[in-house]
Amino acid sequence: MLFSFNLYSQETFKVKIQGSGQPILLLPGFACTSEVFEEITENLAKEYEVHVFTYAGFGDVPPIDFPWLPQIKEALINYMETNNLQDSIIIGHSMGGTLGLWLATENTLISQLILVDALPAMGALMLPNYDSKTIVYNTPYNQQLLKMKSESFKKMAEQMATRICKNTEKQKQIIHWMVEADRETYIYGYTDLLKLDLRSELNKVNIPVTIVAATEPYGKESVASTYDKQYKNLKNHTLIFAEGAGHFVMYDKPQWLLEQIQKALNAHE
Residue 3, classed as helix, strand or coil, is strand
The count of structural domains within the chain is 1
Q: Confirm whether 81 is domain-assigned.
A: yes
Q: Confirm whether 164 is domain-assigned.
A: no
Q: Confirm whether 138 is domain-assigned.
A: no
Tell me, what CATH number does 117's domain have? 3.40.50.1820
Q: Confirm whether 55 is domain-assigned.
A: yes
Q: Confirm whether 56 is domain-assigned.
A: yes
pLDDT at res. 8: 38
Residue 67, classed as helix, strand or coil, is coil
Give the sheet arrangement for strand 10-18, strand by strand. 2-7, 10-18, 49-55, 23-27, 88-93, 110-116, 209-214, 237-242
Q: Confirm whether 71 is domain-assigned.
A: yes
What pTM was estimated for this model as a whole?
Answer: 0.95
Q: Confirm whether 226 is domain-assigned.
A: yes
Residue 32, classed as helix, strand or coil, is coil
Give residue 207's domain range: 2-121+197-267
pLDDT at res. 1: 60
Q: Confirm whether 104 is domain-assigned.
A: yes
Alpha-carbon distance values, 261 to 112, 170, 182, 234 (Å): 11, 21, 31, 20
Residue pLDDT tens, the chain, 269 long: 655 544 434 689 999 999 999 999 999 999 999 999 999 999 999 999 999 999 999 999 999 999 999 999 999 999 999 999 999 999 999 999 999 999 999 878 999 999 999 999 999 998 889 999 999 999 999 999 999 999 999 999 999 999 999 999 999 999 999 999 999 999 999 999 999 999 999 999 999 999 999 999 999 999 999 999 999 999 889 999 999 999 999 999 999 999 999 999 999 77
